[in-house]
Amino acid sequence: MSSGISGNQVGGCVKSHIATPWMTRQFTALDSLGPMTNTMLLRVLLLPFVLVLLLAGCQPDAENAGANNPLAGYESPEPLVLRAPEAPMPVPDRMLEGVDGPVGTSALFDGRWTLLYVGYSYCPDICPTELGQLSQILPALQEGSSPFDWQVVFLSVDPERDTPAHLEKYTAFFSEEFVPVTGSREAIDAVTGAVKAGYRIGKHAPGERRYSVDHDTGFRLIDPQGRMLALLPGPHDPDRIVTMIPSFLSEVSPE
């Protein structure tokens, strides 16, 4: 579930407030619910809008992106399914912890297209739902007409509980092809900051095992050069994503 939907500043970018007639109707419908349910549902309802605004407000410097900008001029026909920044957003090279030991992000993404999902294994509902959807999306992309190699990387922002061995067992429940990683707080923050994936660890005492983690639910499309080319905000429709991604890549990928 996403971190706060207030006007917090994340990675130098300000999350904005928006209001539409649709949202007003949703708020009215929630008035009869209890405060806890109200808060949880508001987060889910607002999440797609927050992600779209966050990405829009955190565009890379297109002028400094170089002449070879595959995203120049691209306009998504379905921005709530897939939205691209003005220029690719590089992921810094940091050492993460994988099932087979330390792995750098440059090696992790090298040569394959990646759907990156940020979460944690103790997530009670959102992560299992999203990982279940990714377990449908990955084979569809692999078996389709796409000439690219695909992988799903699950980055846990909760290394205190999510060891690589634990993550291997957890992700295997959804797909043995998923690549689980975690890392130091500095490495996690460098990666999540680069792809604008907000999260917040709930307050807890050292050694305490019961605490919550808020995080957004977007999938990040990372190219084989380790650059984010698109955000796929939740809630997700696997069929639409499987149709949208090849269409997107046909427009922005070099021959």
Least-confidence region, from 16-20, 188-192, 247-251: 16-20
- Sign of torsion, CA 74 80 85 89? negative
**Radius of gyration of the chain from its Cα atoms, rounded to whole angstroms:** 18
Nearest of 77, 74, 91, 20 to residue 252 by alpha carbon = 74
Nearest of 185, 249, 203 to residue 223 by alpha carbon = 249
Residue with tokens 């922002």: 157
Tokens of 128: 């299992």
Q: How confident is the model at residue 35 (pLDDT cuts 50, 70, 90)?
A: very low
Residue 89, CA atoms < 13 Å, CB-side half-sphere: 24
| C-alpha to C-alpha distance for 165 and 187, rounded to whole angstroms | 19
For domain 62-252, give its CATH number from 3.90.1150.10, 2.40.50.140, 3.40.30.10, 3.40.50.720.
3.40.30.10
Least-confidence region, from 35-39, 54-58, 151-155, 204-208: 35-39
β-sheet bridge partners, residue 118: 155
Model pTM greater than 0.85? Answer: no
pLDDT, tens digit (0-9, with 9 covering 90-100), for 105-132: 999 999 999 999 999 999 998 999 999 9
Q: Count the Cβ atoms, other than its own, within 10 Å of residue 27.
A: 14
Three-state secondary structure call for residue 122: coil
The domains of the chain are located at 62-252
Nearest of 171, 88, 90, 83 to residue 134 by alpha carbon = 171
User: Do the bridges between strand 113-119 and strand 150-156 make them parallel or antiparallel, or are there none, so unpaired?
Assistant: parallel
Nearest of 114, 208, 122, 128 to residue 157 by alpha carbon = 122
pLDDT of residue 65: 52
pLDDT of residue 89: 96
Three-state secondary structure call for residue 227: strand
| C-alpha to C-alpha distance for 160 and 206, rounded to whole angstroms | 10
Let me know: does 29 contact 56? Beta carbons within 8 Å: no
pLDDT, tens digit (0-9, with 9 covering 90-100), for 144-163: 756 689 999 999 999 999 99
